Structure formats: structure tokens, C-alpha cells
A and B are shown apart, each in its own frame.
Chain A
Amino acid sequence: MTDPTDPPIERLTFDEALAELQRTVAELEAGGQPLERSIALYERGVALHERCARLLAEAELKVQQLVTRAGGALTAIDVRPEDAREAE
């Protein structure tokens, strides 16, 4: 029963999901919407909360190092913290 224009929750970033969750809570708390609407809001809110919690729980710090490629361009490459290279 969610609004078909709402973006799919699975694609939201943490910040997007959090911002929408905050709006949803505020709207629900303000009240005044028909029952169907408040249930839809609630369900979406719960799903947004789950999305945030899952993103946090599953997240793993991404570690990179800025290195100079041949030709001088700078790129961030993935490294393990213990494998980072010495200063250039």
C-alpha cells in the first residue's frame, strides 16, 4: 500500500533512507491521515528502519590509498590497512 512513486527501499543509501524515515515518523506523529495512509506510512517506515539497520550491520569499512599512476594521475585503490604503501 505504498505510494508507487516511492523509490524502492533496497536502492536507498543510508542517508536517503534515514532522511525519509525521519520524515515518515514526523508525518505519522502529526497524525490526521486516513487509516489506510497511516498503515502504509507505518509499513514504509518500518522497512526504512530495517534498511538503515541492515546497512549499518552489514557495512564494512572500505579502505583505500591514494596513489599516483604512471603519468601522474591520482587514483584511490583498495588496500588492506596493513598493506598500505610508504609515502611516495
Chain B
Amino acid sequence: MRPPSREEDELTTPAGPAASGPRILAVTEATRVVATLVRSDDRLRDLWVEGEVGRVTISTAGHAYFTLKDEKSQLQCVWFRDERIRSAFQPQTGLRVVAHGHVDYYEPQGALQLYVETLQPSGVGDLAIRFEQLKARLQSEGLFEAARKRSLPARPATIAVITSPTGAVWKDVCHVLARRWPLARVVLVACQVQGEGSVQSIVGAFRRLERHVEALRHEGRGGEAPAVTILARGGGSMEDLWSFNDERVVRAIVGHPLPVVCGIGHEVDVTLADFAADVRAPTPSAAAELVVPDQAELAASLARGAERMHGAAARGLRSAALDVAAERRLLDQLHPAARLAASRERAGDLLERATRAVRVRMTDRRRADERLAERLPGLVAGRLAVAGGSLSTAAASLAALGPGATLERGYAIVRRRVDGAVVRDPAEAADGSPLLIRVARGEFPARAGDGRQPT
């Protein structure tokens, strides 16, 4: 800290030893005395002042200048633009207000003024006290217990909204629901959300909705009844939102048969209705978001399900393809060469188509963007249907071409006993060597030769 200058020292201690007679001060010196005194008093650094607003002027820069007065005195106030525009409440002549800020002396104009930081209507303090008292009483009754909060249905087919149809809230809620969960039905139960009679109107809306749900259930159409209720209201002053701190509204929420989601005011506004609700949302739009799933998320989870299904089907096909391939290897050993070649080509072709179908689908899937992912299963279904059909055809034709049918017609398969090789040429069976002869219904041993001389 800068040590006080000699001059200041003298000025702040006018009765000091240096004073040797009346000294004439410059205006700046005099105002500095005042300023220094004002700034040295802690009470003026942070104070709340209640009074009536006198004349208000707003400068071109956006600062508000006004007086606060009571029966005996008045105090100049300035409220700078940056602080002022953040407040929903504005000074008006004749209003009783409570201003919060600090007092300073503005030397260039010789003005002692209150620099306002926040301004609110008088009586807010009373509201805050009533709020806390009612909250404590209802809390002690257990109305805000976490244990009595109901969970929300995962995908409600019908959603009730208690709010005012005028203003943005109702449209915002519709907009969010249409975007996130267009499969839903939304039913407005209109009410008045501020002013005289709004408490009765809100409670009345709950009652009408309850009668409606009851009537539908009575007619056996309970499935058409809303599964969740949103209570919503846009932002406003504490007075505007006051109906939502009313005990009757709190009790209507607690007694409502459907789970209630409250979206009242802005994030910072907390009402007793919020405490009573099963779920508190920071805003009306957030309430709408909370009650329904997001169709984009669900579509993604559907696509994941479809992928798992593709994977499982592909594995099934692969193992079927392996089975067919094993059959084909057996045929290779047992079937007359010419027909085998043809059948192999055919079976091979079918298998290849089946495999290709699976592979194409896998590649496609990797490439798929979100849009494609929706169409893809259809394309794949077509391909796999072809592949599935092909495999059944392959299996049938393999059965027809198999050795069984041929042997049944009287043919035999001759193999060498030593190595099991099929004998296609008499030269492959040495005279007297043991053979196995397979006919349609069994196999018997034999020997090559029978007197014939080897060529």
C-alpha cells in the first residue's frame, strides 16, 4: 500500500498540530475529504435501502438514475446498465423497492449516491420468509420425501400437460415432444398460471384431468389415459411464480394419481411445486425432454439390435456353409467324376452366393451412415433370403446327387482295402489284393483277380 501523502494526512486530520489557522481548501481538496470519509465507513460499502422510487431517468448509455425516498429524506441512486439489464425488475416511479449496493461520493459532480447492484420490489423478504415456513411445514408432513416419488414410464403413449396455452411454454413443449417422441399423444389441460385465481385454476386442471383418467378407466379405456403429467410455466418474477408455492397446488401434485414432472420458470427458480413433483425439471422444455425417450437414441439402439441380429444370422449361415462344404468333400471321394464336377460347380456356386451375400452385407453395414442403417436391413433381408433359399436348394440337390441314389440303381463302389482308394481302373487293383465293395445296402469284402492274368 502507498503510504499516505503529507497532504492527505493533513486533510484527514484537520485538527492536527499542523493546523495553525483557517485554511482555504480547493474544491477538489474539500470533496476529497468527503470522499475519504464516505469510503472509510464500512456501513456504506454494502447496504440495503428500502424506499419509494422517485423520478427515474435512463441515460443514453443505459444507466438508470433515480431517487429513493421516504417521508423525510431522499437518496440519489444510480444503477449501471450492465447490472440493470440482468434484472427482470426495473425501477418505476412510485414503487416501493429494496436496493442493494454501496454509497459513494462522485467527486466530479459532488454527488453522494447509492450505486445499486440489485433492485427488488419491497415485500420480497416477506415472501421468502413465508416460502421457508410453508416449506418446513410441508416437509415435516413428508410431502417432499424421496421415498414417495414415483418413477416415470419409459415410453408414455399419452402425456398430459397442465399449463397456459398462451405464451411460448405450451408450444415449446409440443415442439420438444414432436422432435423427440412423435409417437406420443399430448393432451393440454389449460389453466391460468399467474395472477388472481391461478391457484384455483391450476388445482382445477388437476381435478379435471383426474376425472378424465377415472372416466377412461371406468370405460375400460385406461390405456388411452395419460401416463404422466407435466406441470409447466415460463420464467417470471418471484410474484409471478408465487402460485406454485401455494399449499393447495402442492397438495394437488402430491395427490395426483399420475407421476408429475414440474418445469417451472428458469433453472434458478425453485418453487414448492418443484419439491412436491416426482421429478423436477429446470425448465418447461426440459420437462418435455424428461418424459419421453429420444427417438434418435432409440433408433441407434434399434440399429445395434439389428446388427447383433445380422451377426447371429451370419454365424448361423457360416456354420451351415461349413456343413455343406463337408458334404461336398465326401462327394469328392465317392461320386463319379463327371457328375461330381457339375454338382460341385453348382454347389460351389450356391455357396459362394450365400457367402457373398453375407460378406456384402457386412461391408455395407460398416459403410452405413445413419440414414442407410435404416434401409439396410431391408436390403440385407432380400439378400439373405436368396442366400437362405440357395442353401436349401443346394442341400436338396446334394441329396439327389449323393451316392445313395446312384447305388440304389445297382451301381457299386469298389475301394482298395489297404488305403480305401476308389478303384477306377483295373490296373489299380493288383491281382489277389483285398477290396471292399459298397452297394446300396452295405459293403462286403472281395479279392481282385480270380485267375485273370494281370495285363
Name A residues whose Cβ lies closer than 8 Å to a Cβ of B: 14-15, 18, 21-22, 24-25, 28-29, 31, 33, 35-36, 38-39, 41-43, 45-47, 49-50, 52-53, 55-57, 59-66, 68, 73-74, 76, 79, 81-82, 84-88
Q: CB distance A86 to B316 under 8 Å?
A: no
| Partner among B212, B377, B392 whose Cβ is within 8 Å of the Cβ of A46 | B377
| Partner among A31, A59, A66 whose Cβ is within 8 Å of the Cβ of B189 | A66
Q: Is B306 close to A, CB under 8 A?
A: yes
Q: CB distance A25 to B164 under 8 Å?
A: no
> Cβ of B312: which chain A residues have Cβ within 8 Å of it?
25, 28-29, 31, 38, 42
> Cβ of B384: which chain A residues have Cβ within 8 Å of it?
39, 42-43
A29 to B189, CA, bound (A): 46
Q: CB distance B309 to A45 under 8 Å?
A: yes
Considering the complex, which residues of chain B in the window 162-200 have a beta carbon less than 8 Å from any beta carbon of chain A? Answer: 164-166, 170-171, 174-175, 177-178, 181-192
Q: CB distance B295 to A56 under 8 Å?
A: yes
> Cβ of B178: which chain A residues have Cβ within 8 Å of it?
60-61
Q: CB distance B302 to A36 under 8 Å?
A: no
Q: CB distance A62 to B184 under 8 Å?
A: yes
Across the interface, name the chain A residue whose C-beta is closest to B213: A74
Interchain residue pairs with CB less than 8 A apart (28): A14-B183, A15-B155, A22-B305, A31-B312, A38-B312, A39-B316, A49-B309, A53-B299, A53-B374, A56-B299, A60-B178, A61-B178, A61-B182, A62-B185, A63-B174, A63-B185, A63-B188, A65-B165, A65-B189, A66-B160, A74-B215, A81-B171, A82-B171, A85-B165, A86-B164, A87-B192, A88-B190, A88-B208
Name B residues whose Cβ lies closer than 8 Å to a Cβ of A: 155, 160, 164-166, 170-171, 174-175, 177-178, 181-192, 201, 204-205, 208-209, 211-212, 215, 295, 298-299, 302, 305-306, 308-313, 315-317, 320, 374, 377-378, 380-381, 384-385, 388, 391-392
> Cβ of A25: which chain B residues have Cβ within 8 Å of it?
305, 308-309, 312
> Cβ of A57: which chain B residues have Cβ within 8 Å of it?
374
A87 to B188, CA, bound (A): 10
Q: CB distance B208 to A87 under 8 Å?
A: no
Overall SS of chain B's interface: helix
> Cβ of B385: which chain A residues have Cβ within 8 Å of it?
39, 43
Q: CB distance A66 to B188 under 8 Å?
A: yes
* B319 CB, nearest partner CB in chain A, Å: 8
> Cβ of B188: which chain A residues have Cβ within 8 Å of it?
63-66, 79, 84
A14 to B295, CA, bound (A): 12
> Cβ of A15: which chain B residues have Cβ within 8 Å of it?
155
> Cβ of A84: which chain B residues have Cβ within 8 Å of it?
165, 170, 188, 190
A25 to B306, CA, bound (A): 8
Which among B181, B313, B374 has the highest number of chain A CB atoms within 10 Å?
A: B313
A25 to B307, CA, bound (A): 9
> Cβ of A79: which chain B residues have Cβ within 8 Å of it?
188
